[in-house]
Homo-oligomer: A and B are copies of this chain.
Amino acid sequence: MDRIRRNERLAAMTRILVESPNKIFTLGTFCEMFGAAKSTLSEDIDILRSVFAQFRLGQLDTVTGAAGGVRYRPVLQPEDAYRAVKDLAQQLAVPGRILPGGFIYMADILAQPDIVERMGMIIASQFYRSEPDFVLTMETKGIPVAMMAAKALNVPLVIVRRDSKVYEGPAVNINYLSGSGGRVETMSLSRRAVKEGQRALIVDDFMRAGGTARGMVDMMREFAVTVVGVCVLVSTQEPSKKRLEGVKSLLVMDGVDESSGTAAIRPAAWLAQAAERARLG
């Protein structure tokens, strides 16, 4: 094999780091791969770090210690995150999305890999420090965005089912209050899915009264799992009193005009504030 030049190494390392977000690669891994010295690779990583910062392409960290190395996190800058969420709000505010009962049609949006990946990255970036062991979601609509958050965090995605399935093995079932009306429904989670003492990040696509999110928190209590956060893509302004407090959302739906089929929807205040703080430097 020819001697590998720096620009080739940088391209190959970028590809490897970007496809495995939040995974620590030791310098040794790259030394072996490229036949280069550690000092050379340290310089490479310095270059990459500044390129990523300059072009706002995410965050490259050097992790020290025994399990140290280099790690890529697809963290958007606050202004970029705000802009991405605002774009999504505009797409959701297009007339005709509101269905009978005040529901909003989002399935097409949640089907777009680039959109859900970006939203998953924004969610993940809020919870890197909480170090969840897995992302928890409830079937079905929230799975794509929860999967992308799990990918950005480099943890598994655990899916709560509406009923127990033969191919999930023994399961824990709990009842929860669904919808503003408070219907009693059941959710089910395989006993094998999570372990006692783990840390869960709950991600879902939509929250109105918060019954489903509350049910997932209760479910985690049954498994003796700590919930490090709850984050939804869209929450409604009403009812202002939710069944679960402390839920973070990317978008807030202030209301709907059923006659025109239009939603009043905007980025959550915390995103606007973070963007404003970043702008002021």
Contact = CB atoms under 8 A, between A and B. Distances in A.
A154 B113 contact: yes
Interchain residue pairs A-B with the least CB separation, the first 10? A113-B151, A111-B156, A7-B7, A103-B167, A14-B14, A139-B140, A10-B11, A8-B51, A143-B143, A15-B57
A57 to B, nearest CB: 5
B11 A169 contact: no
Given A15-B18, A16-B57, A99-B169, A140 B159 contact: yes
Contacts of A94: none
A144 interface: yes
Contact of A99 (B99, B114, B167): B167
A181 to B, nearest CB: 13
B168 A105 contact: yes
Interface string A153-190: 01111110100001111000000000000000000001
A47 B161 contact: no
Contacts of A103: 166-167
Interface in A33-73: 33, 47-48, 50-52, 54-55, 57-58
Residue in A13, A51, A52, A168 whose Cβ sees the most chain B Cβ within 10 Å: A51
Residue in A15, A18, A54, A168 whose Cβ sees the most chain B Cβ within 10 Å: A15
A147 interface: yes
A114 B57 contact: no
A245 interface: no
Given A11-B47, A99-B169, A108-B193, 7 more contacts: A6-B7, A14-B18, A105-B167, A105-B168, A112-B156, A141-B159, A143-B147
Interface size class of A (residues with CB under 8 A): 35 or more
A112 B20 CA distance: 12
A141 to B, nearest CB: 8
A204 interface: no
Contacts of A143: 140, 143-144, 147
A192 interface: yes
A246 interface: no
B52 A157 contact: no
Nearest to A112: B156
10 contacts: A8-B50, A15-B18, A18-B18, A105-B167, A105-B192, A107-B190, A113-B157, A140-B161, A144-B147, A167-B206
